């Protein structure tokens, strides 16, 4: 009898062990499932319904600002952190004691990350000091890292000002030999004019576009070793309409001679054979060149097909009563991608117009943007899929890819359209004047009647920072500590942090 009771007890114990193990396995599976759902953005909403959320990541300059989401800060205290949010529109406000506030409405999407890394708060009371005499500078440009100010003047003894030191010590460079063959009206002044200055990423080379009387010349200035500078137009005896710096050390360039695309190798002092003909616009990123060019008939339609299309178009115009004068043979264009590494060019798409084009990278993906009149199209380079199209209220003249490819800015006069790659949306706005530029990687400034105004890249958070500022002179923020501008012939510095 005792033996039967013992066996029964053992069976019960075994069943309990098996049951507990099953419960543990179910609990682990359930816990893992919950964690997977949470990581995927799913959460229990206020109405106890499961909904998929997005993730908001917020940082600020300076760090440690208070964060308010939809007016509430109970669960989200400081910047440089992240938090899940329900999908939909939310308002974000940042504030910090002694600084102004920053705010924006954002659209959070299910299962996606929304980054706010660029908000900048300015001290309400900033220390202001004059740090250098600018003198007779007629042109000024700032390096990509915003640590160097180059001042050009007609004496050809230019100045380099390091902006990342508390004590400014100007360094003079003699560029006379670089420009010695330029024409001049007399011995004391130069007749040529600087049209643009583009820095290499090494912050040591500057590519100048010069108007010398009626000619355009290109000069690569080495600010550390001026003797190594080179007048590209004279060196290669070619007229270039456009030149772009391809690599960080500025010894590989891509040039447009008329409509012929060529590679320029400064180290070997060679210009390549024609890489492409009929090029209308181009851009590059790292080792790739994107360009729009006239399409050869054998690449597209035969001459008979073109004639047939023109005849059909003529018939349509005739039916509309426009007559033969309303008929013009439409040129055919194409969008091409050239890999400078292997020299191979591939056609991406045929176009009806010579659109402006840009190539950019955001996160790990590359994008192509085409602009024709007021139409903007965004493509993914990897599979060349059209992601979106936008119709602007104006026709852009200039196109700039912003910091880390996060936005693309299109301008015409004071009109600006910002394509926000994070939100995949376009925002149109106007600056206060035509005198504007980039004060840092993410903010635009304008000077109106001496008032220095700043805006985020999308035109939001407009703030007035200074008065009596000299226009036509670059404004910059360096090391996130100082803001520099010109006033009454003096370089002024304002401290953006508490000393």
The Cβ of residue 472 has, within 10 Å, a number of other Cβ atoms equal to 11
Q: How confident is the model at residue 213 (pLDDT cuts 50, 70, 90)?
A: confident
Q: What is the mean pLDDT of residues 120-144?
A: 93
How far apart, in whole angstroms, are the C-alpha atoms of residue 35 and residue 29? 10
Residue 83: which residues within 8 A CB-CB, separation 6 or more? 55, 56, 58, 69, 75, 76
Q: What is the mean pLDDT of residues 64-83?
A: 79
Residue 379: which residues within 8 A CB-CB, separation 6 or more? 348, 367, 368, 369, 370, 385, 386, 387
Write out pLDDT tens, residues 261-291: 999 999 999 999 999 999 999 999 989 999 9
Q: How confident is the model at residue 122 (pLDDT cuts 50, 70, 90)?
A: very high
The predicted structure's pLDDT at residue 283 = 96
Write out pLDDT tens, residues 351-364: 999 999 999 999 88
The predicted structure's pLDDT at residue 93 = 94
Q: Return mean pLDDT, the chain.
A: 85
The predicted structure's pLDDT at residue 76 = 58
Write out pLDDT tens, residues 414-441: 999 999 998 889 999 999 899 999 999 9
H runs (alpha helix) in 57-103: none
Write out pLDDT tens, residues 460-491: 999 999 999 999 899 999 999 999 999 999 99
Q: What is the mean pLDDT of residues 105-109?
A: 90
Tokens of residue 306, six digits: 């073109």
The predicted structure's pLDDT at residue 190 = 61
pTM recorded for the entire structure: 0.82
């Amino acid at each position: 009898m005792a033996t039967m009771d013992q066996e029964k007890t053992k069976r019960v114990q075994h069943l309990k062990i098996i049951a507990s193990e099953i419960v543990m396995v179910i609990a682990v599976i359930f816990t893992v499932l919950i964690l997977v759902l949470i990581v995927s953005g799913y959460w229990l909403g206020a109405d106890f319904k499961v909904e998929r959320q997005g993730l908001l990541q917020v940082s600020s300059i300076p760090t440690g600002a208070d964060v308010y989401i939809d007016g509430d800060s109970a669960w989200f205290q400081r910047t440089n952190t992240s938090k899940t949010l329900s999908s939909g529109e939310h308002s974000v406000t940042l504030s910090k004691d002694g600084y102004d506030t920053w705010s924006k409405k954002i659209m959070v999407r299910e299962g996606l990350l929304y980054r706010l890394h660029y908000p900048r708060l300015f001290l309400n009371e900033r220390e202001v000091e004059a740090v250098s005499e600018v003198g007779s500078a007629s042109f000024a440009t700032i390096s990509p890292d915003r640590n160097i100010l180059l001042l050009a003047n007609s004496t050809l003894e230019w100045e380099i000002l390091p902006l990342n030191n508390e004590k400014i010590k100007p360094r003079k460079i003699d560029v006379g030999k670089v420009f010695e063959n330029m024409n001049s009206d007399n011995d004391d002044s130069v007749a040529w004019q600087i049209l643009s200055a583009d820095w290499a990423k090494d912050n040591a080379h500057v590519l100048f576009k010069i108007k010398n009387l009626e000619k355009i010349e290109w000069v690569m200035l080495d600010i550390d070793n001026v003797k190594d500078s080179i007048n590209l137009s004279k060196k290669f005896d070619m007229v270039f309409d456009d030149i772009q710096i391809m690599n960080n050390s500025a010894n590989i360039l891509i040039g447009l001679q008329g409509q012929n695309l060529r590679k320029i190798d400064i180290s070997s002092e060679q210009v390549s054979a024609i890489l492409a003909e009929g090029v209308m616009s181009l851009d590059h990123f790292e080792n790739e060149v994107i360009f729009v060019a006239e399409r050869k008939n054998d690449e597209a339609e035969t001459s008979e097909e073109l004639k047939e299309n023109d005849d059909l178009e003529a018939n349509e115009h005739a039916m509309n009563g426009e007559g033969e004068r309303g008929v013009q043979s439409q040129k055919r264009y194409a969008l091409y991608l050239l890999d400078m590494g292997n020299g191979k060019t591939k056609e991406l798409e045929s176009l009806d117009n010579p659109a402006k084009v840009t190539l950019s990278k955001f996160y790990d993906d590359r994008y192509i943007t085409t602009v024709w009149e007021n139409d903007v199209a965004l493509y993914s380079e990897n599979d060349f899929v059209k992601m979106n199209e936008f119709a602007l209220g104006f026709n852009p003249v200039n196109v700039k890819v912003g910091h880390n490819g996060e936005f693309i800015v299109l301008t015409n006069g004071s009109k600006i359209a910002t394509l926000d790659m994070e939100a995949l949306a376009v925002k149109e706005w106007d600056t206060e004047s035509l005198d504007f530029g980039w004060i840092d990687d993410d903010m635009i400034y304008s000077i109106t009647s001496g008032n220095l105004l700043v805006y985020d890249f999308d035109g939001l958070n407009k703030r007035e920072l200074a008065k009596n500022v000299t226009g036509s002179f670059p404004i910059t923020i360096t090391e996130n500590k100082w803001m520099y501008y010109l006033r009454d012939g003096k370089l002024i510095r304002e401290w953006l942090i508490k000393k």
